[in-house]
Structure formats: structure tokens, C-alpha cells
Amino acid sequence: MRDAFLGRESHDLDLTTSAMPDETERILAAWGDATWDMGREFGTIGARRGATVVEVTTYRADAYDGQTRKPVVAFGENLDDDLVRRDFTVNAMALRLPDLQFVDPHGGLEDLAGRRLRTPGAAEVSFGDDPLRMMRAARFAAQLGFDVAPEVRTAMTEMATSLGIVSAERIRDEFSKLMLAADPVTGLRLLVDTGLADVMLPELSVMRETVDEHRRHKDVYEHSLTVLRQAIALEGPHDGPPESVPGPDLVLRLAAILHDIGKPATRRFEPDGGVTFHHHEVVGAKMAAKRLRALRYDKETVKAVSRLVELHLRFHGYGSGEWTDSAVRRYVTDAGPLLTRLHRLTRADCTTRNRRKAETLRRTYDSLEARIETLMDAEELKKVRPELDGNEIGEILGISPGPVLGRAYKHLLSVRLDQGPIGKDAAREELLAWWAKRPESAAD
């Protein structure tokens, strides 16, 4: 109902009924092209017919044990009992079929019009039943631009620690939905202000207490929120080519909000009153990986986000274009498939209010991207490899696959990055020279 009133098209229909799951399954089997019952334990049977997906759930009147967020499932007998257990009033509206009677016992339509999030019953009772609903409030604020009612915000603040009983996987899913929303900054602010972030992403709250070295922002936290917004603005259209970084892009957004996560741990006060954050990108990469693993993100996401955090400062060594072609090759190779995201993260990280400085940084990065394109065209940098493969290296040195061959391969890759294409003969000479100088050669 909520999406219908908001004019949001959806092919997924949620229905509730007095029928038991077995009866629902028989009806849907006759209607749909396919059915599934993975939610049978909770009274839900799903079906698909063409592009339309329907999930039908038996009226519920759940209870919670207060130790976990899993409900003790109890089927209800009427629609009103079912609606009162919903998370927010805007989700507690229904259209009774077949007579199309609108059912709104908790003022959901009025709240929808007022863009307000309230709970059908007392907020503390609702969140006590299911603490994940507090994160859903932040997610809906980000997705729909709704304000959270004062009593709901108060309950979120007072009960924030109860989020600790929710599984990391469920928190991750809600957090991802928030980060992919139209305005994740609104949701993030709510998480921090209510203390929920202290439970699931404490590093975000800590950043609020760390003044950045340029004193241009209230704190590193505000800077990071600005970077996130600017990174989102640099995403391509959702149906754009991969090189445009089609939005919403979870990896880019996570990297943007976490790129300075290492600053609090590396903050040092200088005698002249300045503040430094040396190597915060390296420390931050490790911290980001640890936090994302704790939230049960997949290995590829953890690896990509932490790598972007590690590389986000690399550009600032470019100066006014002093990098050699070798340095440019290494920048591209180290970024690998993350290069287009790194371009956007680096540009988004410029939050200076000095227009002249901002324009200089923009032109300098334009120059770097142009050099990258030139080298890519000339050398196919995305496919850069040593000019001798593993088999050729093994044959020249008379060694079998193993750690030694791996070190030889890395040496030739380094030569390729430093010198560009040199041909197989020159690569063979480089390999033999390296082999002769190896300190461990005497032991081989």
C-alpha cells in the first residue's frame, strides 16, 4: 500500500490472509508458474506468474523472547491483529479484497502524507520485540526522506544497545539497503545520533570526534559524509556501461564513508598545533576490512572496499604531474578492476572550499586520467603481464613451479611496470641477471 500511494511501481505483491499455509500453497500452485515455501515456518508462501511475484502470509500475532530477534510464530485470526505487529504505521495499511476496502487502523496514510515514521503501538514495545526495526527506521529515512517521530527517535536512543542481539547478517542487509538508498547520509546521521552506530559501526561515531588536519570541516565525520554525497553524484546511470560505475554502487559508497576510518587511530598533534594522520590509509584499509568481515560481507566486497581505502591517497603524490610513466603504470595495476571507482573516490575526496585549489586538483586529475588513457592505448595496461610467462621462466631457469618461480615472475612484472615493453630477449637478460644476483642462489 505504501508504495502505491507513493507512486512507486512494484511487481511484488504482499498479501495476508486467514488461510493456513497449506491452503495458500494449493491456491497459488493453481495460479502461478512457480511457487516456493521457504517462509512456510513464518506462514509465507510465494508464487510467480510472469513478471508478477506474490507472497501470501497467514495473519500473524507473533511474540518475541527478548533474547533474539526471531519471533515465536503464532498465527492470528484477523487483519487488525496482523497490522498492529508491523514495524511502522506507513506499512500497517491494507486493501481488503475483493471489495477494495481500505484498512488503516493506525493512521498510516496521514503519516505517509506527513512523511513521518511512527510505530503502530508504543515504540519501545515494537523495538523491544524486534530491535532490527530501529535500523529499518534509519533505512526508510534514507530511502523515502521521512522524518522519524520524536518518540521513535527517543526509543531508538534508549534501546540502541539491544541491537546487539540481532545477527550480523541481518544488520548487514539493512545497512546495505540504507547505503544504496537515495540519501544514505540521512540514515547514517540517524544511526550515529541515536547510538545505533556505536553497536554496528562504532568507527563512524569515533570519526565525529576527530578534527581533520585542514580544519576545513567540523570533523572527519562531516568530511566523510560530504565525500559520500559527492561520490554518489559521480556514479553513472543505473543502466550505464561498467566504466561509468552505474549507481547505486555499494562498493564505492562503502569506500567513501570508510575512506578516513583510520584517522582517529593515527591522529598526532604537532608542536606547532597542527594535526597529522600519517599512514591513515593503510591503517584504515585494515580497519575497514575487519569491520566489513564482522558484518559478514562477502570476500570480494571486503577486498574491494579495503583496497580503495588503501589507495585513496595515492593520487596526491602526483603533484603537478611529476609521476613517471612507471608510476602511472603502477597506479593502474594496483587499482586493477577498481580503477574507475578509484577515479571517482579520489575526485569525491576533494572537499576544499577554496575554489582555486579545487579547480587545480580537478585539472591535475584530468591530466592523470589522460595519461592513463594514453598508456592504456599504447600498452594495454589492463592486460599488463611480464613478457615471459611462467612456463618460459621455468624453462630458462630450469626450475619447477613454486615460490621461487613466483618471485621470478614478480620481478619481471616489476621490470615491465618500470620500463614498459622491452621484448622477450631483453626480459630474458633481466631474468638471468636477477637470478645471478639472488642472495639465496647459493642455496638453490
Structure confidence at residue 116 (pLDDT): 95
Structure confidence at residue 4 (pLDDT): 64
Three-state secondary structure readout of 315-374: HHHCCCCCCCHHHHHHHHHHHHHHHHHHHHHHHHCCCCCCHHHHHHHHHHHHHHHHHHHH
Nearest to 80 by CA among 67, 94, 97, 100: 94
286-342 pLDDT, tens per residue? 999 999 999 999 999 999 999 999 999 999 888 777 888 888 888 888 898 999 999
Structure confidence at residue 14 (pLDDT): 85
DSSP-derived pairing of the beta strands 63-64 and 52-58: unpaired
CA–CA gap between residue 386 and residue 89 (Å, rounded): 62
Structure confidence at residue 353 (pLDDT): 81
- pTM (2 decimals)? 0.79
| 3-class DSSP state of 307 | helix
Q: Which fold has domain 201-383?
A: Hypothetical protein af1432 (1.10.3210)
Structure confidence at residue 214 (pLDDT): 52
Beta bridge partners of 246: 236
Beta bridge partners of 75: 60
CA–CA gap between residue 135 and residue 117 (Å, rounded): 12
pLDDT in 10s for each residue of the chain, 444 residues: 566 666 666 667 888 888 999 999 999 999 999 999 888 888 899 999 988 899 998 887 766 655 555 666 677 778 888 888 888 999 999 888 888 889 998 999 999 999 999 999 999 999 998 999 999 999 999 999 999 999 999 999 999 999 999 999 999 999 999 999 999 999 999 999 999 999 999 999 998 876 655 554 448 899 999 999 999 999 999 988 888 999 999 999 999 999 999 998 888 877 877 777 888 999 999 999 999 999 999 999 999 999 999 999 999 888 777 888 888 888 888 898 999 999 999 999 988 888 888 898 889 999 999 988 888 776 665 566 788 888 989 888 888 888 888 888 888 888 887 787 888 888 898 888 888 887 665 445
Determine contact, residues 90/108, Cβ cutoff 8 Å: yes
Q: Which strand (E) or helix (H) includes residue 57?
A: strand 52-58
Q: Give the domain ranges of the chain.
A: 201-383, 390-443
